[in-house]
Every structure is written in structure tokens, then in C-alpha cells.
Amino acid sequence: MTGWRAGIAATCLVLALWQVVIWSTGVARFILPPPALAVQTIWESRALLAEHAVITMAEVLIGLALGAALGFISAISLVAWPTARALVRPILVFSQAVPVFALAPLLTLWLGFGLWSKITMALIIIYFPVTSSFFDALMRTNRDWIGLAKVMGASPARIMWHIRVPAALPGFASGLRLAAVYAPIGAIIGEWVGASKGLGYLMLLANGRAKTDLMFAALIVLAVLTILLHTAVNKVCEKTLDRPEGS
């Protein structure tokens, strides 16, 4: 089954299960609206949803780009300098022990209610997966290639950029695929803590006004945008970073 057919089948299955739950439980609409009502709300509120979706996607894309760049540089630095690796890697691991939800209020306090607190939140949540995936791939470079390069007199910098990095690009691609899924989580958490625009803000606003259909509409739009982002990143990785060696 091709990717788009599998996606359509999965969507139909989710919608069917959603409707079955409503039929079987008799849950009230203000608690769980039927799929048809959520879809209708998406259409009727398309301008409102689009306005907030643009803000959220701007936060996600900027955070993704900055997080990927920082992760790329960090992984190379950790491989190149063993002292930095010994000092920084434990800090990276420790940083993952701090719940990201706990950081959102601090970032809002320090950076305000604008875009940058949400961008920073998205950056933080994707930085570790990108750095970790790329670092592991760099460390697994074929030792025979490195040994041959040293025998031929290659400098550490040339070994890094001409052997290690090209061989580790599929690992970097794996980190980017994870980042494409995690980045919207960071942006939404930031919007929940403090924002005046964005899909996360719209979901809270709709929930406070008991507009459950609008809340589900925003959630569906967010899910669709996340899937599209992951698909786009995956396509780019397949064409640029996952190429076989020597292609």
C-alpha cells in the first residue's frame, strides 16, 4: 500500500472509530463533537484557523531550522573535541530529565509572549534528538576508512568533512524526521503557557468558551500540518541525505 493510500485508510479508520465511540456511549456534543461537526467547523472557521495556523507554523519552522543547525554543529563539535564531549554530553542527558512543560513558563517570563519564547521551546525540544542521532552516526563511521585516511596523511578536519560527515548524514536525517514531529509540540506548549495567537492559543480560547467543535477543529488542523511537515522533511531527506555512498 502506497503512502497516500495508507494515510487515507488510517484517517478513515480514526474517523470511523471516533463516530463509533459517540454512537456507543451517547456522549454529549459539547464533550466530544462528531467528526462531521468538526469538519464543518473547519470549513466555517477556515479564515480564523488559517490566521492562527500561520503563526504556529512560523514558530515551528524557525525552531526546526535553528534546532537542526545547532544540533548539526554541536554533534560535530562533540566528536572533534573529546574534552567537550566528556563535559557536555552529561549536561545534554541531564537536560532531558527536566520536563519541557516546566521550562515554558520560564521562557515566557524571559522572552515575553511573542514568537521567540515559542521558537525557543521548539528548539529545545528537538535539539537533543538531532544532536544525539547525528553524534551517534558520526561515532559509528567505518574505522577502516578513517585509518586509511590517516595513513594517506589526511588532517582531522579533512577526515571530519570528507569522511565522517558524509557517512553520518543518514543519521542526521533520522534526527530531522523526529524533529519534524516534535517541533509542533514545543510550539503548542509555549502557546498554552502564554500567547495571543496560534493554534495552541485558539484551542485554549475555544475550551474556555465551551466551543469543543472549534477546539477539535484546531487540533485536526495541527495534526494535518504536522503530518505534512513530516512528509516534506522525509522527502527532502530521501533526496539529499539518504543517498547511497558514492551516488
218: left (phi over 0), alpha (psi -120 to 50) or beta: alpha
Angle between the 115-139 and 82-95 helix axes, to the nearest 10 degrees?
Answer: 130
What is residue 176's three-state secondary structure? helix
Q: pLDDT-based confidence at 60, cuts 50/70/90? A: very high
The predicted pLDDT at position 215 comes to 94
Three cell numbers written together for 109 = 517570563
Give me the chain's average pLDDT, please. Answer: 88
Q: What percent of the chain has pLDDT over 70?
A: 95
Three cell numbers written together for 61 = 519552522
Tell me: do 25 and 145 sit in the same domain. Answer: no
29 contact partners, CB below 8 Å, separation of at least 6:
37, 212, 213
- Please state, in angstroms and rounded to a whole number, the distance separating the CA atoms of residues 138 and 126: 18
pLDDT digits (tens, 9 = 90+) for 12-25: 888 888 888 888 88
What is the rounded average pLDDT of the residues 54-83? 94
Tell me: do 108 and 197 sit in the same domain. Answer: yes
Tell me: do 111 and 152 sit in the same domain. Answer: yes
Angle between the 35-44 and 3-25 helix axes, to the nearest 10 degrees?
Answer: 120
Q: Is residue 245 part of a domain?
A: no
Q: pLDDT-based confidence at 55, cuts 50/70/90? A: very high
> How does DSSP classify residue 154?
-
Tell me: do 3 and 114 sit in the same domain. Answer: no
> How does DSSP classify residue 155?
-
Which is nearest to 198 in space by CA: 63, 61, 56, 58?
A: 56
Three cell numbers written together for 73 = 554543529
138: domain CATH number? 1.10.3720.10
pTM, two decimals, is 0.89
Residue 75 is part of which domain span?
Answer: 34-240
The predicted pLDDT at position 30 comes to 83
Q: pLDDT-based confidence at 9, cuts 50/70/90? A: confident
Tell me: do 27 and 42 sit in the same domain. Answer: no
The predicted pLDDT at position 244 comes to 46
Tell me: do 115 and 17 sit in the same domain. Answer: no
- Please state, in angstroms and rounded to a whole number, the distance separating the CA atoms of residues 222 and 215: 11
Top-confidence residue, 195 or 170? 170
Tell me: do 55 and 70 sit in the same domain. Answer: yes
The predicted pLDDT at position 187 comes to 92
| Residue 6 reports pLDDT greater than 80 | no
Q: Is residue 246 part of a domain?
A: no
pLDDT digits (tens, 9 = 90+) for 96-141: 777 777 888 888 888 888 899 999 999 989 998 999 999 999 999 9
CB atoms under 10 Å from CB of 69, counted, come to 12
Tell me: do 62 and 15 sit in the same domain. Answer: no
What is the rounded average pLDDT of the residues 166-192? 93
| Residue 247 reports pLDDT greater than 60 | no
| Residue 246 reports pLDDT greater than 50 | no
- Tell me how many domains the chain contains: 2
The predicted pLDDT at position 4 comes to 62
Contact 68, 176 (CB under 8 A): yes
